[in-house]
A = this chain, B = another copy of it.
Amino acid sequence: MRPRVVVVGAGFGGLTLVRALRRAPVDVTLLDQYNYHLFTPLLYQVATALLDPSEIAHPIRAVLRRQRNVRVVMGRLLDVHLDDRRVDTTAGSLDYDHLVVAVGSVNNFFANRSVEEQSYPLKTLDDALALRNHVLETFERASVTSDDAQRKRLETIAVVGAGPTGVECSGAFAELSALVLRRDFRGSPLTEVDITLLEAAPAVLGTFAPSLQRAARRTLQRKRVVVRLQTAVREMTPEGVVVLEDGSRIDAATVVWTAGVKASPIAGMLGVAPVDGGRVPVDAWMRVGGRPDVFAIGDVAAVQGDGGPHPMLAPVAIQQGEHVARQIVAAATGGAAPGPFRYFDKGTMATIGRNSGIAQIGPLRVSGFAGWLMWLFVHLVQIISFRSRLVVLVNWAWNYVFFDRPVRLITGMEKRTRPADD
């Protein structure tokens, strides 16, 4: 019987691993709680009404349709029996010879209940749709209210966290507001949307070079995004007021939370003590607890020593997925096992909207239009399915030429509750 590989999670790491095993003499089972792989770098474009969900979410079965040695199962991991080499899932139990845990990360509200309950995070597809619906609805309500204070509140967006997601999201909301809504709501009392970007650290895009940080700040200012550094959020009131650490307040109907993620809480199931606030400690071969048959990769894993732990980024997950695939192929074919994992940093980039991006590739620093073109090219190439590439390109081109946002729909307003089917 061929070795059975169970992969939990169809994010960048898990999916890369599975595809890298396509010619290996193994039987792969890929488990995910969703039926799609999510291209998370463009999630903010769904939240800001530029892209449709299906343009960044690809059905896993469709992506892997031509791969004969994989079985896709939709379900959630319930338990891991390390000694029996078996996992329990909501879709039944699975025996494994190699287990790869690639369950990624979840929003981190740093145990702040009021923020968790009242802000809009941006980590899942449902998060993005909820944020899109909410923002568009606040604009609608702002256009008909006769209460000035209320309108001001409805027109205020606070984005917490000035990492790439927060910066991209602020820029995209500024464009949605300036270019589209001012025309959509022509003649209404709705004026300008106030966007404030709050960051606890002393700089935006902390992982980028200072020259690129300055370029990003200039672009944000040109887009009239107010950037407040060294400004932490203390709490949120049920009325949607953000209370800052210095006691000052922002009346914002929309608060977007992009200030942190943490590893999915899985370490306990794998019998190890979490590190780095939740991550699973692994060695330089991504092995968990010294076991040769259990791996963790991507956001959920923290390599101990050997240059780790690595940042929670898609390229890390992809490279770790490829590395573990090589190990599994070596074990199955008796080939030479690879050396310890080394992360190769191909560079990072971010966009701050129309015509403006930044990229940092080795010693290279690119900003402005050239940075934007690089961002565009790299992201388009990365999107897995050809169809989506075409549709995304049509949408981006449409938006670029006509200053439009095609997907301004408020959906999901009436939920019918249905009995469970079982």
Interface set of A (CB-CB < 8 Å, partner B)? 33-36, 52-55, 57, 59, 61-62, 65, 71, 73-75, 91-92, 117-118, 124-126, 129-130, 134, 136-138, 140-141, 143-144, 146, 150, 154, 183-188, 238, 240, 253, 387-388, 390-391, 394-395, 398, 404, 406-416, 418-419, 421-422
Given the known interface contacts A54-B52, A54-B407, A414-B124, the answer about A65 and B183 at a Cβ–Cβ threshold of 8 Å is yes
Asked if B61 contacts A413 (CB within 8 A), the reply is no
- B residues in contact with A421, CB < 8 Å: 134, 138, 141, 154, 240, 253
Asked if B411 contacts A129 (CB within 8 A), the reply is yes
Asked if A54 contacts B409 (CB within 8 A), the reply is yes
Asked if A409 contacts B36 (CB within 8 A), the reply is yes
Asked if A412 contacts B409 (CB within 8 A), the reply is no
- B residues in contact with A34, CB < 8 Å: 410, 413
Asked if B118 contacts A418 (CB within 8 A), the reply is yes
Given the known interface contacts A35-B140, A35-B408, A71-B187, the answer about A238 and B419 at a Cβ–Cβ threshold of 8 Å is yes
In the complex, what distance in Å separates the CA atom of A259 from the CA atom of B143? 39
- B residues in contact with A143, CB < 8 Å: 73
- B residues in contact with A390, CB < 8 Å: 394
Which of A54, A143, A395 has the most C-beta atoms of chain B within 10 angstroms of its own C-beta?
A54
In the complex, what distance in Å separates the CA atom of A415 from the CA atom of B418? 14
In the complex, what distance in Å separates the CA atom of A59 from the CA atom of B407? 8
- Shortest distance in angstroms between A371's beta carbon and chain B's nearest beta carbon? 27
- B residues in contact with A387, CB < 8 Å: 394, 398, 404, 406
- Shortest distance in angstroms between A227's beta carbon and chain B's nearest beta carbon? 25
In the complex, what distance in Å separates the CA atom of A183 from the CA atom of B67? 11
In the complex, what distance in Å separates the CA atom of A137 from the CA atom of B419? 14
- B residues in contact with A395, CB < 8 Å: 391
Asked if A412 contacts B185 (CB within 8 A), the reply is no
Asked if B144 contacts A73 (CB within 8 A), the reply is yes
In the complex, what distance in Å separates the CA atom of A71 from the CA atom of B188? 8
When C-beta atoms are compared, the residue in chain B nearest to A52 turns out to be: B52
- Shortest distance in angstroms between A119's beta carbon and chain B's nearest beta carbon? 10
In the complex, what distance in Å separates the CA atom of A411 from the CA atom of B57? 10
- B residues in contact with A36, CB < 8 Å: 408-410
Q: 12 extra interchain contacts, Cβ-Cβ under 8 A, other than A57-B411, A73-B144, A75-B144? A: A35-B410, A36-B410, A52-B54, A65-B184, A73-B143, A125-B411, A129-B411, A129-B412, A134-B421, A141-B421, A388-B406, A415-B415
- B residues in contact with A144, CB < 8 Å: 73-75, 91-92
Given the known interface contacts A130-B416, A144-B92, A419-B118, the answer about A136 and B35 at a Cβ–Cβ threshold of 8 Å is yes
- Shortest distance in angstroms between A373's beta carbon and chain B's nearest beta carbon? 23
What would be 25 A-B contacts, judged by CB atoms less than 8 Å apart?
A35-B140, A52-B53, A54-B406, A59-B184, A59-B408, A65-B184, A71-B187, A73-B143, A74-B144, A92-B146, A117-B419, A118-B418, A126-B414, A126-B415, A129-B411, A130-B416, A134-B418, A134-B421, A154-B421, A238-B419, A387-B398, A391-B394, A391-B395, A394-B394, A415-B415
- B residues in contact with A134, CB < 8 Å: 418, 421
- B residues in contact with A91, CB < 8 Å: 140-141, 144
Within 8 Å by CB of A409, from B33, B57, B410, B418, lies B57
When C-beta atoms are compared, the residue in chain B nearest to A35 turns out to be: B410
In the complex, what distance in Å separates the CA atom of A138 from the CA atom of B35? 12
- B residues in contact with A184, CB < 8 Å: 59, 61-62, 65
- Shortest distance in angstroms between A65's beta carbon and chain B's nearest beta carbon? 6
In the complex, what distance in Å separates the CA atom of A118 from the CA atom of B59? 27
In the complex, what distance in Å separates the CA atom of A65 from the CA atom of B75? 45
- B residues in contact with A409, CB < 8 Å: 35-36, 53-54, 57, 59, 125
